[in-house]
Structures are given as C-alpha cells and as structure tokens.
Chain A
Amino acid sequence: MDATTILFWIFASISCAAAVAVVATQNVVRMAFWLIVSLGSVAGLYFLLSADFVAATQLLIYVGGTLVLLIFGVMLTATGPYSQIRTSPGEALLAGGVGSLFLAMIITTVVSVDWDSLAAIQQQDPSYASYAHEPGFNPAEEGNTARPLGLKMLGISLEDLGRTDGSLSHGYLLPFEIVSIHLLVVLIGASYLARAKRRSRPDQPS
C-alpha cells in the first residue's frame, strides 16, 4: 500500500469519526471541539492532495469560524457552566433518515464514476496542466501548486499556454468578483441589522 493511501485513510477515518462524535456528544463545547478535529482532518486531506491554498483556507475559515461560533454562540449566551443539547427521538430519527439518504446519494455518485478512464482522459489531454508534464518537474513536490489558482483568479488560464488553435478558456475573475460583492452586501446587511435602534421617543429615557 502506498504511503499516501495510508495517510489518506488515517485522515479520512479521523474526519468521519470526529463527525460522528459531533452528532453523538451532547456537550456543546465538546461538539465544537470534535467539529474542529473533523474540519482539521479535511484540511489534512487537502494538504495530502498538495492543495495548500485550499487547506490553509479551510483551517483559517472553518476552524476560525467554528471558534467564533463557539465564543459567541456558547460562551456569551450560556446560562449554566456546561450547556447540553438533548435531541428528542423524533428529531434523531428524522435527522438520521435525511443523513443516510444523503450518504447513499454521495456513495452512489462516487461509485458510478469510472475513475480510471477519467484519469486516462486527463493524461491524454494536451491542454491539461501542460507544465506538469515536464520531465523531472513535480509541482506538488516543489510546492508550486497555488500559482495556477492565483492566475485563474486573475483571469489567466495556464491551459491556454499549451494550445495552438487560439481558443481560450475562462478564468475565475468574474465569480471571484461576484463573491466579493456578495460579501460586501452581507456586511452592509449585517451592520444594518445590528445597528443601534433609534429611540422612538427621545424625550423619555427608556
């Protein structure tokens, strides 16, 4: 067995076990802890795939986000020392049903793809990451995996460099800008909702 495969199974099993533990525990802070473990293992999987940027983003956003959720959702609002969440049997049944349906759908999708032929098609495509075929050059080994992504964000596609017929593929510039505008709208909306409400009758102290 390949070392990468071993590491994959370690990270994948930690991730799944921690995800189950999130659902199984009742203490909210422990749930948050297991969520951090699960998301961190997913980041480990990304590192294993040499997707450094996605992995770091996963750590920064999801682990950091879980932390903020933990602080503001639990520490600032809890009335007792260790707040518990108890689910009724009906809720557990419903959630279990929906969860297993979703799991079945994902498993069916993954199994139905013929991964070997897909990999073969990718290998034959000359436009597919032409720089990666240089002899003796392994972008993952040299850590040069995020640069194509950054160029795509600027609207430049590396695949075009290997093409001779003049056709161009698209970068991610437009989606990137749309997402940033979306975040701006969310920020403005949040500050609007959270603003200090003007008192209706300023002459009376409320």
Chain B
Amino acid sequence: MECISPLLAAGSIGDFLRTQRVPFCGCELDSATVLILTAIIHAAFLFAMFGLVPFFFIWLERKVAGRIQDRLGPTRVGGRFGWLQSLADGVKLIQKEDLVPSMADGLLFRMAPYIACVATFGAFMVLPFSDGWSAVASDVGLFVLFAILSIEVVGIILAGYSSGSKWSLFGGMREAAQMVSYEIPLAICGLIPVLAVGSLNLTEIGQVQSGWFLNWLVFNSPFTFLAFWVYFTVSTASCKRAPFDLAEAESELVGGFHTEYSGMRWSFFFMAEYASMFLVSLVASLLFLGGWHTGIAPLDSVLTGLRETAAASPGFHVAGYVANLFGMMVLASKGAMLVFVQIWLRWTLPRLRIDQVMTTCLKYLVPMSCGLFLCQIIWPLVVISAVGRSTLVAWPEEMGGSIGERMGRQSVTRPVETDESAGQPGDDIDESAESSPESLPAVTESQDKVSAGSVRPHSVRTAARD
C-alpha cells in the first residue's frame, strides 16, 4: 500500500518517478532517467493498445465474414465464440520459418514490415483517446497524424519491390498509385471539420463537440455530413481494404505485396493494416462523430465537470481518471463500430479493377472533396448573412447551444494589463482551470454566456495527463 499511495498522489507517471529512489543504491533518479522511463511506460501502454486492437479485429473479421457467408466462423479456440482464435494464429505464425527468397534484396525485405508497423504505431502518438489523454499534444495534431501515417506506404512499396517477385512488384506499384492519389481526398476531407472548428488540434476538435449529438460535426452543415461519407470511403481505400484492396488482390496477384512473406513478418503487415483501420476510424470519430462525448448532454456535462475538477486539482484524481477512461471507451466503441462497417463492406462488395479504383478517386472523390471544401468555407458566411446565426438551426440553450456560438475563439496570449482581473479566483470556469494563460477576458465573457457548464474552454490543458 505504501507503494500505491505516492502513485495516486502524483499527477503523472513522471512526477511519481521523481519521488522514487533506486532500490539498491538509494540515490534519486535524475531527470534523463525519469524521462526515458516515463517514455517507455507510455510507449508500452500505446503498444499494448496497438497489439490488442488487431487481436480483437482479426477475430471480429473472421466471425463477421463467417456470418455473412452463412458460416459460423471460429468456434473452438478459447471457448464458445472462438475468441482466442487470434492468439492461436499468432502462436502458429511465430513458429513458422522466416523465409527470404534468394532473389530478394535481404535488407529491405526484412525492414519493410517494420516500417509499415512503426508508421501506424507512431500515428497513435498524437491521437487523444480522451480529453487531454494524448501521448503528444500538438497544435497541428491532425497534420502530424496524416504525415506519420503516410509513411506506411513506404513499407508496402519496399516490400513489393524487394521481394524479387513479379506478383509483389505489381502489388507494390498498385499500392503506390493508389496511395498517392487517395491521400489527396483524405487530407481534404480531414480539413473540412477543421474548417468548421478552426483548429487542427485534435483535442480541441473533440472538445467543441460536447452537448447533444446534434452538435457533432457530422451534423454541423450539409457539407460536413457529405464529407463524413467521402472520408469514410477514402479511409477504407487508404487502409487498402476491400473493395479497394488491389495491392493484395488474391485472385490476380496470389498475395500481392506480401506474396513472399511468411511467419511473423507477414503478420506485421496485418497488424499494421488492422491498427490503421482502427486509427482512421478513431480519427473519423474524433473529426465527425463527437470524439469522446456520448452525445447525451446531461451525462457529458457531468463527465466534463469531473475532468475539469481533475485538471484543477494537483495529483491523481480518481473521478477524473474514471471520466477519462469512460471517454476513451466511448471513443473506442465509435471507432470499433466504423471498423465493423469496414469489415461488413469487405465481405459484401466485390473488388474493383485498378482502373475503376483510380477513376473513383481522381474523377469522383477528388472533385467531390474539393467542392465540399469550398462549400464549407462559404457556408458559415451564407448562414450568418441569411439567418444571423452560425448554424442553420438554432438549438435551444438546454440542448447545449449550437456549435458556432459555443466556440470560444482561442486567443494566443494573455495581455499584460489584465493580470489582476485574471488573478481573482472562482469567477468563472475558465479561470478555475489553473493553466489557461491564453484566454482574453472578452473571450471568457462570451464563453460564459453560452457554456452552461458543459463546455470547456479550449485553452485548458491539452498536455498529456496520465
């Protein structure tokens, strides 16, 4: 118990480690060791997530595929629903021989699965799993996420090229052509909710979607609604999922880019694929579907209140932790639902031809996303001039207000002369959250009017609180 209590008293793992002593020599840990240990613990948490997600979704894929094809799917391993099937697969794959073809470029052939895997894993870094629960808080989180995720294709292409096989090379080339073109609508569709919110920070995008579910960005305007469907299509294609899985295309290319792979290296590609499916679904949930908010305003305002108390109090706060854990489960459920739809699509739709895939992207999805982008720029101006509000429908105050009015513009600095007014405690929620040095008084007032306790100002801590 004397081990647990300093852990609960500390605000983060780093703070906890700073209070500890090395078991044998009794000396204190220096800052470098603390930072490295903290980083390892955080990475282990993320890696557990990264490993468990494919574990679950591969089982789900088999089960759903079975049901859609009028089979049972796995039933025996690990009890009734075959829920340990992925573990059995993993054990089987570890035992297999790690083959490298004689024609292959050994170094690149061995490196390629790790590149695909690490890129997907790295993109989880900037993703907020709940309010403020991100490993790396970044002002340009969405941009960083897409940038890191775009490295995955390097692994696929290197795998295709270095295998020394024609099937693999064709798979790699198709993947290259597909990714280079599908990244454009993916990025543009990701920018449409960013236009509605005015921030690339994923935590802020999640925060503005509190209140009832009509405040979710997918219902913000007709264009965000359409953009959600375009984004979902494009993200399915960017994970090279059927009907866009031309890179593997078993009926034409044997196994596509992973024809020559066996054992664990082969399974790394699939871990990367399932993790990136989950990742793009989580991003879709954050951008369009309210993030960690349940969509029920009274429940959300209670949870937000708990988080605010936790952010204001020093040390570990159990209620805030539980609220964040609940938010993470909500976000993960939304992501899992979208992954389920992706799996459903895979076993329902036939695979397109490569020319159809490219036509879909370049002739339909790119112009559509560009048009939606332009319309989303013009939309607020038209609505404001027509009805005098920032949204078409005026949500009643008890429903949390409409999203445009609730958005406090985040200012960049606190002016020097307002120090004394900002120092008064407890005049509003903005000031009670300790670390909001960026809000101007004018902004604070406008937030006061509409927040009604359910909205948290954006400038409150976005750094990781473990």
The stretch of A49-57, A166-174, A181-189 in contact with B is A49-57
Q: Are B111 and A60 in contact (CB under 8 A)?
A: no
Smallest beta-carbon distance A132→chain B, Å: 9
User: Size range of the interface on A?
Assistant: 35 or more
Q: Is there a chain B Cβ closer than 8 Å to A130's Cβ? A: yes
Residue in contact with A82 in the complex, picked from B105, B111, B461, CB distance below 8 Å = B105
Q: Are A57 and B147 in contact (CB under 8 A)?
A: yes
Q: Are B412 and A142 in contact (CB under 8 A)?
A: no
Q: A131-B414, A158-B412 are in contact. Are A52 and B154 (CB under 8 A)?
A: no
Smallest beta-carbon distance B119→chain A, Å: 9
Q: How long is the Cα–Cα vector from A137 to B157 in the complex, in angstroms?
A: 43
Q: Are A143 and B141 in contact (CB under 8 A)?
A: yes
Q: How long is the Cα–Cα vector from A1 to B30 in the complex, in angstroms?
A: 9
Within 8 A of A (CB), among B122-151: 136-141, 143-144, 146-148, 150-151
Smallest beta-carbon distance A123→chain B, Å: 18
Q: How long is the Cα–Cα vector from A33 to B114 in the complex, in angstroms?
A: 13
Over the window 143-179 of chain A, the binary record of Cβ atoms lying under 8 Å from chain B Cβ atoms (1 yes, 0 no) is 1111110010000001001100000000000000000
Q: Are A134 and B437 in contact (CB under 8 A)?
A: yes
Q: Residue on A with the closest CB to B410?
A: A147
Q: Residue on B with the closest CB to A40?
A: B151
Q: Is there a chain B Cβ closer than 8 Å to A6's Cβ? A: yes
Q: Are B150 and A60 in contact (CB under 8 A)?
A: yes
Q: Are B105 and A147 in contact (CB under 8 A)?
A: no
Q: Is there a chain B Cβ closer than 8 Å to A70's Cβ? A: yes
Within 8 A of A (CB), among B257-288: none
A contact face: mostly helix, strand, loop, or mixed: helix
Among A1, A30, A68, A158, max chain B CB count under 10 A is at A30
Count how many chain B residues have C-beta atoms less than 8 Å from C-beta atoms of the other chain: 48
Q: Are A52 and B414 in contact (CB under 8 A)?
A: no
Q: Are A30 and B105 in contact (CB under 8 A)?
A: yes
Q: How long is the Cα–Cα vector from A183 to B141 in the complex, in angstroms?
A: 26
Among A6, A59, A68, A81, max chain B CB count under 10 A is at A59
Q: How long is the Cα–Cα vector from A6 to B35 in the complex, in angstroms?
A: 11
Q: Is there a chain B Cβ closer than 8 Å to A18's Cβ? A: no
Q: Is there a chain A Cβ closer than 8 Å to B158's Cβ? A: yes
Smallest beta-carbon distance A146→chain B, Å: 4
Q: A71-B173, A136-B435, A142-B137 are in contact. Are A33 and B32 (CB under 8 A)?
A: no
Q: Which residues of B contact A142 (CB under 8 A)?
A: 137, 435, 461-463
Q: Are A131 and B412 in contact (CB under 8 A)?
A: yes
Smallest beta-carbon distance A83→chain B, Å: 11
Q: How long is the Cα–Cα vector from A30 to B108 in the complex, in angstroms?
A: 7
Q: A29-B162, A67-B157, A143-B138 are in contact. Are A56 and B143 (CB under 8 A)?
A: yes
Q: Are A29 and B437 in contact (CB under 8 A)?
A: no
Q: How long is the Cα–Cα vector from A130 to B416 in the complex, in angstroms?
A: 9
Smallest beta-carbon distance A122→chain B, Å: 18
Q: How long is the Cα–Cα vector from A60 to B137 in the complex, in angstroms?
A: 19
Q: How long is the Cα–Cα vector from A201 to B208 in the complex, in angstroms?
A: 63
Q: Are B105 and A27 in contact (CB under 8 A)?
A: yes
Smallest beta-carbon distance B104→chain A, Å: 10
Smallest beta-carbon distance B128→chain A, Å: 10
Q: How long is the Cα–Cα vector from A130 to B417 in the complex, in angstroms?
A: 13
Residue in contact with A59 in the complex, picked from B136, B150, B161, B200, CB distance below 8 Å = B150
Q: Which residues of B contact A151 (CB under 8 A)?
A: 412
Q: How long is the Cα–Cα vector from A130 to B414 in the complex, in angstroms?
A: 10
Q: Which residues of B contact A70 (CB under 8 A)?
A: 157
Q: Which residues of A contact B412 (CB under 8 A)?
A: 131, 147-148, 151, 158, 161
Q: Is there a chain B Cβ closer than 8 Å to A36's Cβ? A: yes
Q: Which residues of A contact B157 (CB under 8 A)?
A: 67, 70-71
Q: Are B143 and A53 in contact (CB under 8 A)?
A: yes
Q: Is there a chain B Cβ closer than 8 Å to A75's Cβ? A: yes
Residue in contact with B105 in the complex, picked from A29, A60, A71, CB distance below 8 Å = A29
Q: Are A3 and B32 in contact (CB under 8 A)?
A: yes
The residues of A with any CB-CB pair to B shorter than 8 Å are: 1-3, 6, 27, 29-30, 33, 36, 40, 52-53, 55-57, 59-60, 63-64, 67-68, 70-71, 75, 81-82, 130-131, 134, 136-137, 141-148, 151, 158, 161-162
In order of increasing CB-CB distance, the 8 nearest A-B pairs are A143-B137, A3-B35, A56-B147, A3-B32, A131-B413, A146-B139, A59-B147, A60-B147
The residues of B with any CB-CB pair to A shorter than 8 Å are: 31-32, 35-36, 103, 105, 107-108, 111, 136-141, 143-144, 146-148, 150-151, 153-154, 157-158, 161-162, 164, 169, 172-173, 176, 180, 200-201, 412-416, 434-435, 437-438, 461-463
Query: 12 A-B pairs, CB-CB below 8 angstroms?
Result: A2-B31, A2-B32, A6-B32, A33-B108, A52-B144, A56-B140, A56-B144, A59-B147, A71-B173, A142-B435, A143-B139, A161-B412
